[in-house]
Chains A and B, each alone.
Chain A
């Protein structure tokens, strides 16, 4: 007796659907992160470092390894202002 392949077709369809959505989501996150894998478990230290990367390079995931900062780096950390509520 051969393998009853008609019974396995629904499993194949489910596997393909999960695979396509998983790969598509992963590709979207890849594109959102500038061609790199997404970061997870980001804590306050990582948030501050990523903000510094954005001030240095213009992109949240951009990296450079030059020893000197570009001109204007000392000044581009803004004070964040809130409006008064009362």
Chain B
């Protein structure tokens, strides 16, 4: 019964019991959707092993992933948090421009390519993280490096 989304909810319940003491606490990431989308490929570049571990644990845990994979989840959170701290420290201006542009454009990455190129350059120079789209067919330019985009608001 708890598996379906509530349809007619009238009240909410906030459960304030803390987690058991043997689970080490980890501060959650405080970025909202646009900065996270903007930094997502850099988080993927740095945290790929931890993310893959977590996804493998969840898919092998037969439905008990929320309880069994807490340790891998903590590693994922700490790694993503380190990426966001580093981007904030080195490239704050370009990062803010990019996610403000994304926020104005329905979170569509293809509308904000000029700002994204500047952010990619800054992050590559300072943090050595490169945005790579996995499974790009060989011999084709990846979609974020193409110079022309027909329908975006910033023109070709």
Contacts and interface: CB of A to CB of B under 8 A. Distances in A.
Interface of B: 6-16, 27-35, 81, 84-85, 88, 95-96, 99, 103-107
Contact of A74 (B28, B99, B103, B107): B28
B10 A67 contact: no
B10 A83 contact: yes
A33 to B, nearest CB: 10
Contacts of A57: 32
A79 B28 contact: no
A50 B107 CA distance: 11
A42 B53 CA distance: 30
Nearest to A50: B33
Interface stretch (A3-11, A12-20, A58-66): A58-66
21 contacts: A36-B103, A37-B104, A37-B106, A46-B33, A52-B33, A65-B84, A66-B30, A67-B31, A67-B84, A68-B27, A68-B28, A68-B30, A75-B14, A75-B15, A78-B12, A79-B13, A80-B6, A81-B11, A82-B6, A82-B7, A83-B10
Say what secondary structure dominates the interface of chain B. Answer: mixed
A29 to B, nearest CB: 13
A2 interface: no
Interface size class on chain A is 20 to 34
Interface of A: 36-37, 39-41, 46, 49-50, 52-53, 56-57, 61-70, 73-76, 78-83
Nearest to B7: A82
A40 B14 CA distance: 31
Given A53-B32, A62-B32, A74-B28, A67 B85 contact: yes
Given A65-B84, A65-B88, A76 B14 contact: yes
Nearest to A48: B33
A67 B30 contact: yes
A67 B13 CA distance: 27
A57 B84 CA distance: 18
A79 B12 contact: yes
Contact of B14 (A37, A50, A67, A78): A78
